[in-house]
Amino acid sequence: MFRRIGNVVVRHPVWTIVAWLIAAVAIVATAPSLPSNSDESSFLPKSYESIKAAELQEKAFPSAFTPSAIALYQRTDGGRLTAADRKDVARITSELGGKHIDQVQKVVPGQPSKDGKYAMTLVQMDSKNAGQPKQVDAAKELRKDVKDLAKGTHLDVKLGGSAAQALDQEDSSKRGQALIGIGTFVIILVTLLIIFRAPILAVLPLLLIGLVSAIANGLIAYATKLFDLQANSSISSILIVVLFGVGTDYFLFLMFRYRERLRAGDEPKQAMVNAVDRVGEAIASAAGAVIIAFLALVLSTLGFLKQMGPALAIAVGATLIAGLTLIPAVVSLIGPKVFWPSKSWQKEPENARFAALGRGVQRRPALTAVLSGLVLVVLSLGTLGFNATFDLASGSMPKTKESMVVQDEMQQAYSAGAAAPTDVYLSSTDGKPLDRAAFGAYAQKLGAVEGVANARMAQVNKAGTTADFTVTLKYEASTDKAIDAVGQVRDVAHSAAPDGTEALVGGMSSIFKDIDSAVTHDYRTVFPVAALLIMVILGLLLRSVVAPWYLIASVGLGFGATLGATVWIFQKGQGHSGLMFMLPVIMYLFVVAIGTDYNILMIARLREEAREGREPREAAGMALRHAGPTVAAAGFILAATFATMMLAGNALLTEMGFAVSFGIAVAAFVMAMFFTPSLTALIGHAAWWPGHGDQAKPTASGAGTGPSDASGGDGRDSVTHDPAGRRG
């Protein structure tokens, strides 16, 4: 199949390129915009208690005041607010409400702090548009207006709250995307220049993947709208890295093999056909593993991950098609001039370093397997200290952003849990009015829960069938202590509910509690499903039921080593309270799926060498000699491009950038180069049972060659193997 694809593309390169350009123009011109949502509650399904509580609150208390933005005032000298200052706050609040800004429903004064140094203005917006562009625009206008109204006073005012966080997150995301884009561009350009010493080859993947990126983003926007998926601004930053990182990987897989076929004496166009034929299966299998792993995220209960899975799968799918059609078409059109001015494509270098590494694996496979495996196991021990944090807003932007400063100052000025109180909604199950005489005792039981600062009955709906009890925790909403406390509040709220009533617990801590449960569900569902599907792909590629087991086990060890190293760096080294809650899921999929790419490339090459008649140990050594440079180059570029995410300046992308780049480095330089080939050498022919995929297949002349090495009058490879061990 891949030979046929190569033949069609190489024979009609211009039409292939034109087809891609037409598709790009059509998709980009008609694709809808991709909205962003930073509201954690929108990522949970309706079956969770916190979401049920939010829906009940909207029905029972439709006019309940829930601030979307908070203007926080303090004196410029840091002192207590004077009477004149309080008058200024009241004036600003009144004038701000009189501006009738779009999306703003109410503007009311808030409570002053106990120390008298802070005052608030609370702004309620349309909850249906939380996190959407129109509300972000409203927050931007609010921030400007409130600062303008405070001019000439002794007040310093900052805008916080969920709407302001969405605004700051969008701004931070744009800055992060710019830095990531520039960093990715520079790394790929410089690294390819060093590898090939050819400016055309350095620039070409950036241009081609840029075209693929535009198409992929349009397709993702279509999918997001069609299936009503949630979107998050962090996805755009991840997409940049995935598209350029994975795209460059496939570009390198193809170009290294194309150069190898030229060195073997193939005519330029035939060299590209043979390159696609030989490496196409490895690229398709590698991309298939990544796509399936990403699609496994559809099984997640979190909307953020549900949207990320199909988005990344679409991106990799577009990159795969480009790797098999667009890239071969463009390169075959240019021909060997693509390597200009370097002439290294004309002769094979000694590859002394990788040849030496290959000989080491060939001579001492057991020692290599033990040492590389020991490195992975030791790093994996760090996973025992893993702890999760759940505040997506503060994790996706720097602490210096205005809304984050407001959040921190409010926690100091008011009780830690006051900024996001917990609500217990007590409702009658038979539609009759509640017994108000029982409210006092119920509130007292809620207030007695460990970790609760106070609890009180706040309001009852008009029908008297639902009561709202406000429970203020002693801890900030996203902390472990708050999540543990709200779990106890739920237990008491449910067990102490009077006969004929039921209780639902809402609020941010309750949402984080449910997110914690959802992530635990995802660990138990997404992980094994993704691993099983990747094993199926490996089994189909290698025609073996043995190799997939130790290959996926090695990648699992790589995941453990990556998570352990991330825990040691950020929790132990930098003193973070924990890592972002979705990091292990994302890291597992990136490290397992993309890490499998390098295992696939190495094991496929090892099989080719074995089909030449080499014994398992020699085949492992030769595979490392010839595939090692490709894995090293691809692994370095992909790890470095993911590392650019650390430039974004927020906890989520910094942790993700380090974890994924470290995991890919482990996958390329520990697993694929040493652990996998040494294990395969030790297991020997049994690794290919029951397919015996390593055995040479007889040709018409009786020579032992693989299926892509068969030669005859069909114009296929004219050179398959030479005495020096050079391979195509």
Antiparallel, parallel or unpaired: β 579-580 and 388-389: parallel
As a whole number of angstroms, the distance between CA 507 and CA 619 comes to 60
As a whole number of angstroms, the distance between CA 228 and CA 246 comes to 27
Three-state DSSP state, 259: helix
pLDDT means over runs of 10, the chain (728 residues): 90 93 91 59 78 90 79 93 94 91 88 89 80 82 93 93 81 71 83 87 89 88 74 64 82 89 90 90 86 85 78 90 93 91 72 82 92 92 87 66 84 72 92 92 94 90 93 85 93 94 93 88 85 85 86 88 93 83 79 78 87 89 89 87 78 84 91 91 88 59 36 34 37
Tell me the two tokens of residue 204. Answer: 């070409």
Q: Rounded to whole angstroms, what are the CA distances from 291 to 206, 297, 537? A: 22, 10, 11
Phi–psi pair at 321, nearest 5 degrees: -60, -40
Phi–psi pair at 39, nearest 5 degrees: -80, 110
**Helix (H) / strand (E) containing 466:** strand 466-473
Closest CA to 471 of 504, 502, 431, 498: 504
Go through 130-157 and write b for each residue having 16 or more CB atoms within 10 A of its CB, e for each that does not.
bbbeebbebbbebbebbbebbeebebeb
Identify any residues that bridge with 580 across adjacent strands, giving them in sequence order: 389
As a whole number of angstroms, the distance between CA 313 and CA 307 comes to 10
Instruction: Give me the pLDDT at residue 723, please.
Output: 34
Instruction: Give me the pLDDT at residue 540, please.
Output: 84
Instruction: Give me the pLDDT at residue 566, please.
Output: 93
Identify any residues that bridge with 198 across adjacent strands, giving them in sequence order: none
On whether the CB atoms of residues 105 and 125 are closer than 8 A, the answer is: yes
The secondary structure of 330-349 as a DSSP string is HHHHHGGGGGTT--GGGS--
- What beta strand segments (E) does 33-111 contain? 69-75, 104-109
Three-state DSSP state, 396: coil
As a whole number of angstroms, the distance between CA 37 and CA 232 comes to 5
Q: What is the pLDDT of residues 103-159, one digit of tens each?
A: 888 899 988 888 899 999 999 887 666 667 788 889 999 999 999 999 999 999 999
Q: Rounded to whole angstroms, what are the CA distances from 65 to 124, 131, 461, 506, 524? A: 7, 18, 14, 15, 38
Instruction: Give me the pLDDT at residue 724, please.
Output: 36
Closest CA to 623 of 541, 557, 614: 614
Q: Which residues contact 276 (CB under 8 A, 6 or more apart)?
A: 2, 3, 5, 6, 9, 10, 254, 324, 328
Helix ranges (H only) for 581-675 are 583-611, 616-643, 651-666
Q: Rounded to whole angstroms, what are the CA distances from 69 to 87, 189, 406, 475? A: 21, 44, 11, 21
Instruction: Give me the pLDDT at residue 675, please.
Output: 92
Phi–psi pair at 471, nearest 5 degrees: -115, 120
Three-state DSSP state, 98: helix
